[in-house]
Structure 1
């Protein structure tokens, strides 16, 4: 089939546009028919507990992303991204039945194919699944993986806590030496302080291994059984399903009862005791700010030995948690893999943004365009697209206002942006394949051909940098 000429296609399009205009005018005269059915009203807001991240907040998020990318590279972590949806039993088995996350907070649903799936409530289980599935156990140890992304928990929304929130995860597989625990705590410290958040403290604890934890849990159950009437309703249930979580309850009466409860560090086996002692010595050597919190257990059942959290204090003494983590030496076995000691932690990116705002931390400042491209007339507008693309391709950040018609309104935009060069293409320039180059600093201007434009712009920008440095 012979190809239609571009000229013929344009002619046909013009005819159709004219016919469409006539039909629209006729339709406008006809009375409107009543709607057959009432449509459901669109809620112009996201679901409860979720929100938009608007352009005004993005500099904070960009700063976090840049810091995470740089430090993950420095510490030898490779990027991994896993699906936001996994089979539900992955989280039920790893996080543990009886935890608040599994019992109350997971978004579980069936797909049209009948699969029971869940939005991920945390990142580690998915990363562990990927580690096993893709045979990463054959890689040199430790295998260090870094990830960021949204996680979902049907929790009560409050300040700094959303049902969709964003998390950064660092996980290291295949090493049981406590020096790795110390290195990850040092890494967490490095990330948070690099964001301008200085007043922080780590809370650390050891909850032992399955061997010594069994004896400790029996002591804990016996203690809380004797105080059962003083516990909140949730903790009475936890006494049957997950007694260690009682230590983490925030209810005042449960906090008071937990104050005199047996402490896990007093009931560690020799191996766990040596491991925790070595960790504390490493932290002292690194001069990291920490305290031992005997009530710290974390909310996930897969943790063993080391657990820790990162906290900040404001001027009024209020504490803000940015995240935490710990060892999970038996998680890979629970998921069907081979025994793999591992440790990891997560940082709540939403809370980091909130804290950066509170302490007036430095935001990422995006580079501003130094050149503005203005055009006048239809032909100039068409030609300016190629000019704009050529400037960007050569690394010259350029602003434009293609939608505005008058040259005056475009120049007002250029003035507001404070650019150093304004490029102008009018009807004559479009025909001559030239561009007017106006130096906004010196006030001079010249007309150059397209083949010399990039060189002319770079020369002016370079001279302006030299002038500004000499003035300083």
Structure 2
């Protein structure tokens, strides 16, 4: 394949370069996630960025926007249908089943972080390559675990300093309740079938609950009058949801019950929830969500075993932090910038630099043979705490000059005392 040299190479639409200065913010929100998960005894799992397409068709649901419109799918050299992961849960559940972790003492509590891929219309906080932090807890049907998962997400937002995050919560009932409700929904929407969008019509007999999540204005108006699932819950489903709400009350988690919340995935049963916060300029205020999925493990070939989890969009978290002007870490400055004068000092300076780095100090030097004035400017730009100057005269005396840039104070010390001197500075 030949490339024209005049062709300008650009980043694919819907993706971003995360540059130095921004990366530090990402590292910070990722580290906060790890810290919070550790408090709740969740352990990290890393799954492949691509899986067999069938995994998502079976797990996420064939009648979802993700599978129908948004997946990046291709045929590999072995003629296998492969998709870049559009979400994290399916791969984590696949691993849980494939590695037979269900045979170990339960519950199993995992978390993950990494890039996901969906062919969407790029906008603020919504990219074609985006990043999620998610947790999954397997092996317990206890509604208090639902409440713990929801509270963990809120704890994470609080640790970041994000304010006014709300939880919208709903119940989708168990399989029995869903089946009864499904028939009621189909009967209702059949009366309005000529007014429904083409997409809603295609979902009517596959998964009518998805019509409740329609973005088409007329379909939304019709869906507003649909029967409520809450009127068709059996006793077990109602008790499960009531316990979740009581636990959230006890934990002080602010929530509202949204009877129309169904989420965009087919695998949810019982609890479904969404974290929302006002983000100026973003299309919607959702920054994450999740729910319980009691049939997914069995659907993937494992035993009948429940699960619950969430996924949080990290781009949207950063957008919300920026909107609230929450101070996040920026690029760290240097402990020392080393200036050398003369060929021998320049060579010895490499050892001095390495000694500082091995002692845990952030240190840098000039590699462009610039004048001393330009090197001081470089030290300022790199936010160096000190500048160490090593010339031929200092080298003969086994000494080095050190200047604190904040105060202007300068001292001459023995070369082997440099690390200890810098480390004791405030």
Contact 1:323 1:346 in 2 (8 A): yes
Q: For residues 55 and 415 of structure 1, do their structure 2 counterparts lie closer, same or farther at Cα, with a shift above 3 Å needed?
A: closer
Distance 2:75 2:402 in 1: 61
Q: How does 1:392-403 map to 2 (within 5 A)?
A: 392-403=357-368
Distance 1:299 1:60 in 2: 29
2:248, 2:304 → 1: CA distance?
A: 27
**Correspondences of 1:32-111 after superposition (within 5 Å):** 39=4, 42-111=7-76
Q: Relative CO higher for 1 or 2, CA cutoff 8 Å, sep ≥ 6?
A: 2
**Deviation at 1:428?**
4.1
Of residues 404-413 and 198-207 in structure 1, the stretch that sits farther from structure 2 once superposed is: 404-413
CA deviations 1:25-84 (Å, max 9, x no partner) are xxxxxxxxxxxx872754432112112122343343233112111111111110111110
Superimposed CA distance per residue, residues 164-218 of structure 1 (whole angstroms, 9 cap, x where no aligned partner): 1111111101111000000111111111232222112111111112222111101
Match in the other structure for 2:227? 262
CA distance in 2, matches of 1:400, 1:38: 38
Secondary structure of 2:351's aligned partner: helix
392-401 or 436-445, which deviates more? 436-445
Whole-Å separation in 2 of the counterparts to 1:370 and 1:281:
51
Rounded to whole Å, the distance in 2 between the matches of 1:214 and 1:113 is 40
Secondary structure of the residue aligned to 2:239 is helix
Q: With structure 1 as the length reference, what TM-score do the two structures score?
A: 0.84
Is 1:275–2:240 an aligned residue pair?
yes
Once structures 1 and 2 are overlaid, which stretch shifts more, 347-356 or 155-164? 155-164
Aligned to 1:202: 167
Note the C-alpha offset of 1:420. 4.0
Q: CA deviation at 1:442?
A: 5.9
My pick for the range that moved more, 214-223 or 403-412, is 403-412
1:444 aligns with 2:410: yes
Deviation at 1:316, TM superposition (A): 10
Secondary structure of 2:285's partner? Answer: strand
Please state if 1:244 is matched with 2:214. no
Indicate if the aligned counterparts of 2:124 and 2:281 stay in contact, CA closer than 8 A. no
Helix, strand or coil: the match of 2:79?
A: coil
Partner of 1:343: 308
Q: Find the residue that maps to 1:308 and give its secondary structure.
A: strand
The answer on whether the counterparts of 2:344 and 2:392 sit within 8 Å (CA) in structure 1 is yes
Unaligned runs of 5+ in 1: 1-36, 466-472
Alpha-carbon contact 2:51-2:82 (below 8 Å) kept? yes
Alpha-carbon separation, structure 1, partners of 2:46 and 2:392? 50
Distance, in Å, in 1 between the alignment partners of 2:212 and 2:261 is 7
Structure number with greater Rg is 1
Q: For residue 188 of structure 2, what is the aligned residue in structure 1?
A: 223
Q: CA deviation at 1:396?
A: 2.1
Separation in structure 2 between the aligned mates of residue 195 and residue 404 of structure 1, nearest angstrom: 43
Secondary structure of 1:52's aligned partner: coil
Q: Secondary structure of the equivalent of 2:194?
A: helix
Which stretch shows the higher mean deviation, 37-46 or 73-82? Answer: 37-46
Q: 2:122 aligns with which of 148, 157, 163?
A: 157
Cα distance, 1:416 vs structure 2: 4.6
1:191 to 120, 135, 156: 156
- Whose helix fraction is larger, Structure 1's or Structure 2's? 1
Query: Is the Cα–Cα contact under 8 Å of residues 59 and 299 in structure 2 kept in the other structure?
Result: yes
Structure 2 stretches lacking a partner, 5+ long = none
